[in-house]
Amino acid sequence: MTDQVLISIDNGVGRIQLNRPKAIHALTTEMCDAIIDALLAWRTDESVLAVMLDHSEGRGFCAGGDIAMIANSARGDCSEAEQFFFTEYRMNHLLFVYEKPIVAFIDGIVMGGGVGISDPARYRVATERTTYAMPETGIGLFPDVGGGWFLPRMPGRTGAWLATTGARIRGTDCAAIGIATHYMASDKLEAVKARIIADPDGLGEILDEMADVPPPSAWETHRDQIDRLFASDRFEDILAALEADGSDWAREQLSTLATKSPQTIKVALRQMVEGAVFTDFADNMRNEYRIGHHVIRRPDFIEGVRAVIFDKDNAPQWKPARPEDVTDELVDSLFAPLPPEKEWTPLPELRG
């Protein structure tokens, strides 16, 4: 057991509390293993009625995975990175198919891996402190941890906008989009958690009763522009639409997209198309594991992490540097199946 995640049972509520505050609770392989072990044990424990997922002290729910470890592994044989993704995606899938109700309190920074552990929960509670993003195009990775499933199922073209730009949205936006099932002031959370622990069977009713009406959402203001300007599944078409529009908002999106990995944006757009037609979440995760296996071996990932995480110069030199140089053949190669012994599989307990 690791102290990076605190696991307990309190009056029928299985509690999973992320506990790496200095790293904004970024996930490690050990944390994913611990969460899997707890969830599997609670599946067959009749005394556990619900699961509560939150974080200990600090300003973030979960800022993602341990990107520095993944990048260091990618410089070598990639084995440690592959083990992390394999385990993390098994955890994502287990959360998605879990039979007992899960409530995730996404109070604070929710990015990448944090999205992956909260989006599958039946109940997702956002607050005024919530900042939600899938920022992977900025580090040359791709929107994984179930992004291929969740993003295309958001209203209109919202998922394509979030996936390509890495836009950071607030708790009010999460409520409006449907990312969050409930919105409430952060100073209510301890009282809400105490009530749930006192009455686990009343989880849904307690959240409904304690929820606040969210303030207006900035996303609502731009929803028509998002649907119109990000309508295409081709990156070049999106850029052309934004350039033709010429509004301040469109110029902001162009400026943002110019800093992102063209390869990653094209991967993300293809991922949205494929993910939208999957009917089994496991198929989506198998697809994402294939992409991850290939993408970490490409130059953009190591360069993106160098620029954003290590050197912090925020000046990545992408290869290819231009959207038109990211060929269909290159994108195809990043979705290629793996040898059977290397393919991702769900946990043995969930097969059949």
Residue owning tokens 């989006």: 119
User: What ranges in 18-78 are assigned the alpha helix state H?
Assistant: 29-43, 67-74
Task: Give me the torsion for CA of 21, 23, 28, 32, rounded to 10°.
Answer: 40
Write out the E strands in the chain.
Answer: 5-10, 13-18, 50-55, 60-62, 102-106, 109-111, 123-126, 131-133, 169-170, 182-183
Distance separating alpha carbons of residues 9 and 177, to the nearest angstrom: 32
Distance separating alpha carbons of residues 159 and 226, to the nearest angstrom: 10
Residue positions annotated with a catalytic role: 65, 113, 136, 144
Whether residue 85 contacts residue 292, with contact meaning beta carbons closer than 8 Å, is answered with yes
**DSSP one-letter code for 31:** H
Tokens of 81: 């990175």
Tokens of 23: 């790293």
Collapse the DSSP code of 180 into the 3-class scheme (helix H, G, I; strand E, B; otherwise coil) and give the result.
Answer: coil
At position 257, the amino acid (one-letter code) is: L
Q: Which positions ≥6 away from 285 have C-beta within 8 Å? A: 89, 92, 93, 146, 344, 346
**How many angstroms separate the Cα of 129 from the Cα of each of 102, 125, 173, 183, 221?**
21, 11, 12, 11, 20
Q: Which positions ≥6 away from 307 have C-beta within 8 Å? A: 139, 313, 314, 315, 316
Residue owning tokens 């203001």: 221
Whether residue 127 contacts residue 181, with contact meaning beta carbons closer than 8 Å, is answered with no
